[in-house]
Structure 1
Amino acid sequence: MPQLEIAVERWPIAAPFTIARGSKTEAIVVVATISDGRASGRGECVPYPRYGETPESVVAQIEAIRGAIEASADRDALQTLMPAGAARNAVDCALWDYDAKRLGVRAADMAGVGRVRPAVTAYTLSLADPDVMGAAAAKAADRPVLKIKLGGGDGRDPARLAAVRRGAPDAMLLVDANEGWSAANLSDNLTACADAGVTLVEQPLPVAEDEALRDLPRPVPICADESVHGRDTLDRLIGLYDLINIKLDKTGGLTEALALADAAQARDFGLFIGCMVGTSLGMAPAMLLAPKARFVDLDGPLLLARDREPALRYEGSIAHPPEPALWG
C-alpha cells in the first residue's frame, strides 16, 4: 500500500511580491509525496489566505483523510473525499505523478492532451508606485508579455499603466486588479487600460460585486479569477466575463482543472492558465493545460530567489514542459 508524506516548505521570493491584498517575501508551499517503494509521486500546493487557507489547515485537511488516500490512491475517489482547494491540489497532482511513474507513461498522455509544447508565460510586475513600476517594466521590456498588478486603491492605477507602457512599449500588457477596483472607478480604469493598449483585465471587482459586469460594454476583455474555482462556479459567470483563469490551487488539482477547461470552452469562455507563487513542482502539472489556453501565466519560479532541482526550464519567458524527474 502506498504511503503518504506531507512537508511544509519555505522558498524566498527574489523581491517583495505585492498585490492589492498585501505583500509577501516568501512562498510557503505544502508538498504531498505518495510512494510505494518502487514509484513515487509529488504534488505541490500554495495555501492562500484569501480562501481561508493556511499551511496548517492544509496539512490538517490531508491528514484527516490520510488512511483513505493511502488505501485507494485513486484520483477519482479523491474528488469526493476533499473539497476543491490547495489541499486537494497537492494530493491530486501527487497521484497523477505517482500513476505516471508506476505505469511508465507520461501524465500528458494519461490526460489525453498529447504533446505539450513550450509556452510563452507572462511575467508579473508587483504593485508599486508608478515610477517604480515603470522602471521595472523597462527592466523587463524584453519579455513579450507582462502581467501588471494593480488595484492600489489610491487612484493612481492609470498613472501606473502609463508608466509601464512607457517602460515596455512593445510588450503585451495583462492587468490583474485582484478585486481591487470598484463600480465607481471601473469605467475610468478600463478606459485607462484601453488607452495603454492592455490586452486583458483580470478580476477587476470583488467577487460579491461582480454582477456589475453583467453585459457591461467593455473596451478590454475581462477575465475571472477569484470568481471561478471549479465547474460548479462556471454558469453564473456567463455574461460577466470573457475568459476564466484556471489555477490548480483553486480547482483542487489537475483532475478538476481539465474538466473545468472543457466545460468553460463549451460555454465559449477563453482560457487563462495561472498560478500562485510557488516552485516548478507547482507549475509542472499546469503546463498540461497550456495547449488549451489563450494566455499562460506560470512565472512563479521566475519570481523566487531560487527554485527546486530539477526545475522547469525557462528560456526567457518560454516555459518548457516538465521532465519526468520533476513531475509527470
Structure 2
Amino acid sequence: MVNANGTTGINFILLGLFNHTQIHLFLFAMVLMIFITSLMGNTLMIILIHVDPQLHMPMYFLLSQLSFMDMMLVSTIVPKMAANYLMDTRSISPTGCGVQIFLLLTLGGSECFLLMAMSYDCYVAICHPLCYPILMSQKLCLLMTSGSWLLGGIDGLMQAGATLSFPYCHSWEINHFFCEAPSLVRLACADTTIFEFFMYVCCIQMLLIPLSLVLASYSLILAAVLRMRSAGARKKAFKTCSSHLVVVGLFYGTIMFIYMRPKSNDSEDHDKVVSVFYTIFTPVLNPLIYTVRNKEVKGALRRWLEKYFMSSCH
C-alpha cells in the first residue's frame, strides 16, 4: 500500500476527523483547547486530592483514579490526531495502532469498573453512613481500584491482540481519527464471527454488568433518600449523586453505542462523532462536574489557592 507521503509501507491510514477547511480548522482548535483544559482540570483534581488532608477519603481517592484515567485517555487519542492533522499525514504503524487499541480498551474497561466502585461508595455513604469506615475501608478501596485496572488491562490485551491478528488484505484505510477495534474489524478479510461474539461477551462483562450494579446501587439510594424526613438531607443526597449519574450516563451510553454494534458498516461516520464524546468531551466534563457540584472540592481549591498566593507574596 502507499502512505500519505507517497512511500510504500505497511502502515494503516487514518482518514481522520477534520479536513483542511476554515470550519474544520476552528473545530480542530476547539478540540485542542478541550484537550488542554482536560489535562489541566484532571491534574488539578489529582493535586488537590493529594495535598488536602480533608480529601483523604475513599470517595476522593476513587475520584483521583478517575482523573488519572481520563488524562491517559485523552493523551492516547488527541496528540496523534493533532500530529497527523498538523503534519498533513494520516499513517499509523500497526504497533502504534495496537498500542492505541490496548490503552483505549484498558482505560475504558477500568473506568467502567471504577464507576461501579464509586456508585458503591455513594450507596454506603448515604444508606449506611455510620458503617462507612468499615464497609468502605482503605483496603477495600485499594482492592476495587486494583481490580478495575487489572480487569481493564486483561480486556485490552486480549482484544488488541485478537484485532491485529486478522489479515487486512483489501484496504488499510481506517475511517476514524484513531485505531478502534470495531473500525479495524470492518477491514478484515477473514471470518470475524467468533471475534464478534467474543467482543459481545466482553461488552456484557465490561459494560452491562457494571452498569446493572450501578443502577441497582442508585435504586437503593433513591429509596433511602425518599424515606428521609429532612428536605435538606434529601437535597444534599441528590446533589451528591447527581454528578456521578451524569458521568455514568455520558460514559456508558457512548461506549455501548460503539461496542455493542461492532459490525455496523452503515454508521462509521456516526461512530466517529460518538467516539468524540467518550474520548474527548467526557474527560473534560468529569473535573468540571465534580468541582462545581462538590462543596469539599471547592473548599480544597480555595484553601490551596489561598496558600499558594500567600506563599508567593512572602
TM-score by length of 1: 0.29
Higher relative contact order (CA 8 A, sep 6+): 2
Q: Which structure has more helix as a fraction of its residues?
A: 2
Q: Which structure has more strand as a fraction of its residues?
A: 1
TM-score by length of 2: 0.30
